[in-house]
């Protein structure tokens, strides 16, 4: 009673100083351990300032290895310089997850070139001509295509872009392609490949020590002084290093840990908060996995969860006693019951085995071949995560 709820919310104690600085989209001024990559990209793009077309560039590296952030940093600097010196250089960034076709990318490009005009609905030919017109004024256009593997007709896109360069006598168009999928290059037309990969660069994952330094830098920007314990940073770095050196998840983990501290009204972020936030992230990952699973696989998983909850639990396997181990056959029987209850069709046992294999690949279950003590040959199946949580998650999904 009394105090306004918004005032209360705003007055709330927080460990953050500038929360943006720990969001995954933030681009820090300093990018440690990426000097080499920054230099190379800079060297590659510099000719644009002298009116020469830079080489096309292909950047590869796992998620959270700094590809996007480094590229945005360098192109930002380039634009700064160009603006001050009135050079005819323009950079723009496209995430191909949202712009996943040649047409969409081209639209984005001309919109960038002529910001005051609207091009939606125009023919592909018109768009192409418009782009040529822009470059022909002697300008250099640098396109950054993030997640470039998501473009459906990439061969055509790259072909028509490189053809554009032949059609103009001044100016040029170059691109920086970014991907975390190295395999996708093999699916490309050889000409596309050689055009896109005039220069290539690999971004290695960060190790624990590097992650620690990155986190420290971000903590300084985003958190109030003394609110984050050293051990919390170390633990976060260790977690993220385990998970393939992804700096983005590291940053997210710490952000969440801070939010946890705030919501609990604690003024210091310690190991406990980091652990809690990791647990939460993991749960979300599991839930996301389950919700993208086909209905039938959800049923199989539910059968496994249900049996591990309600069976006697302990079984004697090769002398040892193990908890929550199930036979393939009993799971199939339970699955059939579930499917009938939900009025869904029942797949054959052969296909059920296929499901089991896939669930194992996703890491949701663990399987072993049966050994001594069990008649016949079967697979022993165990849930990879807490049965109750999985069971609840599937329950929610099935009541869609």
Nearer to DNA, 256 or 379 (CB): 379
Q: In what order do the strands lie in the sheet with 172-179?
A: 89-95, 140-146, 172-179, 57-61, 199-203
Q: Which stretch binds DNA (CB under 7 A): 7-15, 130-138, 346-354, 385-393?
A: 346-354
Nearer to DNA, 169 or 345 (CB): 345
From the CB of 347, what's the least distance to DNA, in Å? Answer: 3
| Contact call for residue 372 and DNA (CB under 7 A) | yes
Interface with DNA in residues 304-343 (CB under 7 A): 327-330
Q: Which of 4, 225, 377, 399 binds DNA (CB under 7 A)?
A: 377
Residue found by looking up tokens 């971000």 in the block: 218
| Contact call for residue 217 and DNA (CB under 7 A) | no
Local structure of residue 196 (DSSP, 8 states): H
| Contact call for residue 346 and DNA (CB under 7 A) | yes
Cβ neighbours around 353 below 10 Å, total:
14
Q: Which of 207, 231, 288, 354 binds DNA (CB under 7 A)?
A: 354
User: b/e per residue, 199-218, with b = 16+ CB within 10 A?
Assistant: bebebebbebebbbebbebb
Torsions phi, psi for 180 (to 5 deg): -105, 10
Nearer to DNA, 242 or 357 (CB): 357
Nearer to DNA, 167 or 321 (CB): 321
From the CB of 63, what's the least distance to DNA, in Å? Answer: 23
| Contact call for residue 357 and DNA (CB under 7 A) | yes
Yes or no: say if 107 and 113 are a contact pair by the CB < 8 Å rule: no
Q: Which two tokens stand for residue 331?
A: 């799971």
- Cα distance between residue 275 and residue 235, in whole Å: 8
From the CB of 381, what's the least distance to DNA, in Å? Answer: 8
Helix (H) or strand (E) holding 364: none
Nearer to DNA, 126 or 351 (CB): 351
Interface with DNA in residues 133-192 (CB under 7 A): none
Nearer to DNA, 229 or 360 (CB): 360
Q: Which stretch binds DNA (CB under 7 A): 39-47, 64-72, 100-108, 353-361?
A: 353-361
Q: CA 166 → CA 68, 145, 147, 169, 379, distances in Å? A: 29, 21, 26, 8, 61
Helix (H) or strand (E) holding 188: none
Q: Which stretch binds DNA (CB under 7 A): 169-177, 190-198, 283-291, 368-376?
A: 368-376
Nearer to DNA, 169 or 377 (CB): 377
| Contact call for residue 351 and DNA (CB under 7 A) | yes
From the CB of 195, what's the least distance to DNA, in Å? Answer: 21
Yes or no: say if 58 and 174 are a contact pair by the CB < 8 Å rule: no
Nearer to DNA, 32 or 329 (CB): 329
Concatenating the DSSP letter of every residue in 16-50 gives BS-GGGGSTT---S--TT-HHHHHHHHHHHGGGGG
Yes or no: say if 49 and 301 are a contact pair by the CB < 8 Å rule: no
| Contact call for residue 101 and DNA (CB under 7 A) | no
Helices and strands in the chain: count of H runs, count of E runs: 15, 10
Q: Which of 28, 294, 313, 363 binds DNA (CB under 7 A)?
A: 294
Relative to beta strand 57-61, strand 172-179 is: parallel
Chain residues that interact with DNA, rule: CB under 7 A: 294, 296, 327-330, 345-351, 353-354, 356-357, 371-379
């Amino acid at each position: 009673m009394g105090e306004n709820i918004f005032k209360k919310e705003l007055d709330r104690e927080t460990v953050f100083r500038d929360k943006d600085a720990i969001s995954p989209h933030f681009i820090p001024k300093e990018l440690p351990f990426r000097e080499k990559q920054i230099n190379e990209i800079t060297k590659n793009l510099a000719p644009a300032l002298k009116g020469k077309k830079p080489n096309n560039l292909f950047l590869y590296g796992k998620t959270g290895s700094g590809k996007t952030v480094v590229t945005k940093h360098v192109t930002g600097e380039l634009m700064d310089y160009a603006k001050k010196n009135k050079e005819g250089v323009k950079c723009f960034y496209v995430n191909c997850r949202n712009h996943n076709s040649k047409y969409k990318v081209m639209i984005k490009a001309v919109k960038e070139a002529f910001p005051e005009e609207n091009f939606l609905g125009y023919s592909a030919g018109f768009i192409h001509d418009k782009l040529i017109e822009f470059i022909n004024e002697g300008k250099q256009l640098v396109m950054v295509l993030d997640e470039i593997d998501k473009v459906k007709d990439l061969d055509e896109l790259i072909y028509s872009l490189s053809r554009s360069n032949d059609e103009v006598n001044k100016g040029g168009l170059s691109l920086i392609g970014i991907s975390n999928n190295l395999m996708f290059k093999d699916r490309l037309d050889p000409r596309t490949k050689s055009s896109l990969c005039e220069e290539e660069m690999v971004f290695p994952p960060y190790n624990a020590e590097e992650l620690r330094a990155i986190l420290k830098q971000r903590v300084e920007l985003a958190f109030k002084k003394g609110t984050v314990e050293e051990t919390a940073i170390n633990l976060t770095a260790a977690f993220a290093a385990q998970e393939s050196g992804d700096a983005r998840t590291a940053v997210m983990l710490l952000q969440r840990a801070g939010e946890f501290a705030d919501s609990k009204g604690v003024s210091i972020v310690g190991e406990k908060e980091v652990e809690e936030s990791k647990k939460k992230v993991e749960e979300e990952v599991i839930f996301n996995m389950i919700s993208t699973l086909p209905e039938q696989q959800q049923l199989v998983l539910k059968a496994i969860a249900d049996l591990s909850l309600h069976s006697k639990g302990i079984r004697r396997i090769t002398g040892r006693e193990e908890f929550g181990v199930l036979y393939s056959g009993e799971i199939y029987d339970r699955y059939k019951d579930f499917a009938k209850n939900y009025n869904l069709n029942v797949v054959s046992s052969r296909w059920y085995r296929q499901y089991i294999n896939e669930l194992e690949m996703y890491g949701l279950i663990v399987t072993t071949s049966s050994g001594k003590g069990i008649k016949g040959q079967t697979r022993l199946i165990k849930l990879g995560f807490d049965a109750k949580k999985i069971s609840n998650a599937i329950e929610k999904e099935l009541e869609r």
